Structure 1
Amino acid sequence: MDKNDSTVFKAARDPNGLSYGAAAVECSVSGKFFHHLPFARVIGDAVLRSELEAKADSHSIALTYPLSFLSTFAESLQSRPSIRGSFSGLTSKRSAPLSKSIVVRYTDNGIFIPGYIRRRTANTNEVVIRRVCPPPLGVDSEANGNRLSQSQVPTLLLPIRETGGSGDTSDDSDQDSVTQLGIQEHTDSPSVGRHSLDHERKKRLNQTGLKVDGWRQVLDVNGRGSSALTASRAGYEALVFVHGYNCPLTYGIGRLGQLLSLGEFPPYIKPFVFSWPSSTTMGYFTAKSVGCSDNVAKDLQQFITDLHKAGFRRVHVLVHSMGARIVLSALRKGYFDGVFAEREVLDDVEHSVASTSDSRTRLKSKVSVRYRDSILGMGSSRLQESFVNYEDPSQRIQLATFTLLNPDADLDIFLEEDYWTLSKYCPHITVYADGHDGALFWSEVMGRKASLGRHPRTLVYPPTKEVLDVDVIDTTSLDVNIHSIRHNFFNLNRMLVDDLYDVVVLGRRAREREGRLSSRWTFADDGSENGEVYTFLCAPSYVVNK
């Protein structure tokens, strides 16, 4: 029942259930950072999911309304230097701008490129990527074989989506829906009117970037049936941010928008914010009670299910502060059983732990699990697409990465329960912890329990001394763009933003990010080594050359 830009002390969930909406975020990314930015603007009013579902027909889904804005956002961000997207022309057929970077991944079925659809004639084991750019001035043009003069500036024709008479743009055909880019000269011929010249110039755009032979980039995710299939075939990935307590909706949206813009995340990753009733500053225990309730867990479950229906097959979850407690509570209660795809188990090892009827002890009795994606040669989470069939609608959505940012979650419960439930679904778990986090200090005082986000140490399961497969990143040494409380800086600190890009986009584990992270060994009470903790390779801000 919170408003978009404020929260209420007596936190309460809307009895009508989930609402979906869309927002635009304006951010500073370099130079002068303006005090009023990031600024989030909710577009229209949120619509109840029950109303969206009632209006949906056989060719649409409940997420049609918010998804219709995403292709416009993606095109706006990619079309520089001016913003060319328009929220009024949602039905217009737009083509994807050229990408500046392309992610190529390995799968059991061949090569896969997120954000692109492979034509049936393309080779699954070989990809040709070409650089597209205007030829330099004074150099022979391959398009017409003539030498260009200084006044004849070569431009690339803006890609235009080809549509048939019916206006159907189904992405199931083998035909490339984007025309080839061709070199065209400006002409000073008197036969061409001034008005015609201006009109043609508006259609042209100097584009540089990368083009993949036999593949086409797509941005259409407007929620129709064919678009859901397109989203799955193109490997669209959802990035879901779950904010902490005392966080209004627009504030959470602004932080995620700042992260995406500062990190220049690729357009095939679609951003979402799951906002829950987070109460006010003095309502800590109220927020914890409402956020961990079954109603909120069911809403989160429904939201992930709607993402699957929209064609998403991979989801990345970022949880900050108490948002970690909300999601882990839902996982622990089993709300995602049958929703997330489970990892394939190779074998497991029984341990001699006292067995009782308590559910926590049952988890302890079988803890050492080897998964298929963790065997030698498959340890990198960048290879996890090997068991994802993007075109199979029955394929469950995969929890690709789970990142905990200064999590306000009980350390002991995470070691004993939450990790084992989470690792059943997710092969790539990362914890960013800060030993000087002021907010989590008071959380520990009030809750009288150690907080996961305030103890940057190797996570070890006490009964068996087993080191958990979690990348622990110690952010205590970072001191740039960080508030004195040191609890909320993941979207502003340059080192952390780049690291999150590597986690989400490239799927790199901490051991693969040696150019940014340095590992240090931690030791148990008996002096034995028990694992690694990673810190950032950066000098403190007060260290300067004199």
Structure 2
Amino acid sequence: MLMRFGVVDDQDDPIITLLNDKSLTLSEADFFKQFKSTNAVKSGDVLLFVHGFNVKFEDAVKRAAQVSYDINPDLQPVVFSWPSIGDPLKYNRDFGRALDSIDDFEKFMLKLAASTQGKRIHILAHSMGSKVVIPALGKLYSSHSKLLDKKLGNIILAAPDFPRETFILKYKAAFSKFGRATIYMSSEDKALRVSSSTYLADREMLGFSGSDGFFFPGIDSVDITHAGGVDDLLGHSKYGSSARVLVDMHDMIGSNLRANKRKGFIVVPPYKYFFLQP
């Protein structure tokens, strides 16, 4: 069963949906009651997926289910869905909607953490989803660091559409202290090339590895440029289309290993920057 919590445009209350053979809209209390029930019988941890730009709800659910199953069928997938318009020409409007969802994600994380029963929450944020996750976790670390240390597993930022300079100035310290953060980046990510020049006056994005600013102590910086990927013409969705990246996430989550302990990497000195081999 895949569970989805999200903010829907033009509604004051979040819509909460359970997906199995059909969709059900539940109250928040019933959602977490059902989550606890499912969490109690699932043997694996929780994988919380936050989608990116131009992703409709149905597509986010399909991707979360696919990635979760490919990483480990025992994981309990949960989707936090922010209200993307689902139009490739509406980048700026999606940008605003992602920012408007930060507080909702922060509140949801606290409730989700309180509902897990001895299991960790692994977060996978793709693309513009990082604009929701990074600021929210930064705020939570300053106010609930003990809870995060206890409940959070791995934080995976896949092709993060987030200004690198802003991350360094405001959030690098918090994410370094987590000790379990990974950034998947690529020098051939065409989508991030466009977003960096369209909206933010050529500010380089965190998921683009085309500079020397990729190393952050305490954070695994993994270049997946040559990791392959099926039907990924933009080079922006390797986290879900590359078998090699999926295997790496399996090793990361299943064995709780940092990149320097996992297989298949070339380490680039002196930065300890990791290239994932095909």
Kindly provide the amino acid, as one letter, of the partner of residue 23 in structure 2: G
Cα-to-partner distance string for 1:281-330 (whole Å, 9 max, x where unaligned):
2211111112112xx22321222222233234521111100001111122
Instruction: Kindly report structure 1 stretches of 4+ aligned residues shifted beyond 4 Å.
Output: 456-461
CA distance in 2, matches of 1:237, 1:472: 23
CA distance in 2, matches of 1:18, 1:454: 33
Q: What TM-score comes out, normalization by structure 2 length? A: 0.85
The answer to whether structure 1 residue 428 and structure 2 residue 180 are counterparts is: yes
Does the residue aligned with 1:341 lie in a helix, a strand or coil? helix
Tell whether the 8 Å contact from 1:242 to 1:318 is kept in structure 2 after alignment. Answer: yes
The answer to whether structure 1 residue 328 and structure 2 residue 81 are counterparts is: no
Q: Which residue of 1 aligns with 2:192?
A: 440
CA distance in 1, matches of 2:240, 2:255: 18
The answer to whether structure 1 residue 238 and structure 2 residue 46 are counterparts is: yes
CA distance in 2, matches of 1:12, 1:266: 29
Tell whether the 8 Å contact from 1:21 to 1:47 is kept in structure 2 after alignment. Answer: yes
Cα-to-partner distance string for 1:197-255 (whole Å, 9 max, x where unaligned):
xxxxxxxxxxxxxxxxxxxxxx537xxxxxxxxxxxx8x63211100011111211111
Does the residue aligned with 2:160 lie in a helix, a strand or coil? coil
Q: Which residue of 2 aligns with 1:476?
A: 225
The answer to whether structure 1 residue 22 and structure 2 residue 22 are counterparts is: no
Tell whether the 8 Å contact from 1:292 to 1:326 is kept in structure 2 after alignment. Answer: yes
CA distance in 2, matches of 1:339, 1:22: 28
| Equivalent residue in structure 2 for 1:516, among 244, 264, 271 | 264
| Equivalent residue in structure 2 for 1:271, among 77, 80, 97 | 77
RMSD of equivalent CA atoms: 2.7
Does the residue aligned with 2:63 lie in a helix, a strand or coil? helix
Tell whether the 8 Å contact from 1:17 to 1:299 is kept in structure 2 after alignment. Answer: no
Structure 1 517/430 Cα, relative in aligned 2: closer, same or farther at 3 Å?
same
Q: Which residue of 1 aligns with 2:90?
A: 283
Kindly provide the amino acid, as one letter, of the partner of residue 450 in structure 1: E
Cα-to-partner distance string for 1:156-201 (whole Å, 9 max, x where unaligned):
xxxxxxxxxxxxxxxxxxxxxxxxxxxxxxxxxxxxxxxxxxxxxx
Q: What TM-score comes out, normalization by structure 1 length? A: 0.45
| Equivalent residue in structure 1 for 2:114, among 309, 331, 346 | 309
Pairing of 1:136-535 with structure 2 (within 5 A): 220=41, 237-263=45-71, 265=72, 267=74, 269-279=75-85, 280-293=87-100, 296-313=101-118, 314-332=120-138, 334-335=139-140, 337-341=142-146, 397-424=150-177, 426-446=178-198, 447-448=200-201, 449-455=203-209, 459=213, 467-513=216-262, 515-521=263-269, 529=270, 531-535=271-275
Kindly provide the amino acid, as one letter, of the partner of residue 16 in structure 2: Y
Q: Which residue of 2 aligns with 1:536?
A: 276
Does the residue aligned with 2:23 lie in a helix, a strand or coil? strand
Instruction: Give the gaps of 5 or more residues in structure 1.
Output: 5-10, 25-40, 57-61, 72-218, 222-233, 344-395, 462-466, 522-528, 539-546
Aligned residues: 269
Structure with the larger helix share:
2
CA distance in 2, matches of 1:494, 1:483: 12
Tell whether the 8 Å contact from 1:415 to 1:459 is kept in structure 2 after alignment. Answer: no
CA distance in 1, matches of 2:51, 2:109: 16
Tell whether the 8 Å contact from 2:181 to 2:219 is kept in structure 1 after alignment. Answer: yes
CA distance in 1, matches of 2:186, 2:237: 11
Higher radius of gyration, 1 or 2: 1
Structure 1 431/460 Cα, relative in aligned 2: closer, same or farther at 3 Å?
closer
CA distance in 2, matches of 1:257, 1:266: 9
Tell whether the 8 Å contact from 2:176 to 2:217 is kept in structure 1 after alignment. Answer: no
Instruction: Give the gaps of 5 or more residues in structure 2.
Output: none
Tell whether the 8 Å contact from 2:8 to 2:15 is kept in structure 1 after alignment. Answer: no
Deviation at 1:520, TM superposition (A): 1.8
Identity %: 21
Does the residue aligned with 2:240 lie in a helix, a strand or coil? coil
CA distance in 1, matches of 2:212, 2:18: 39
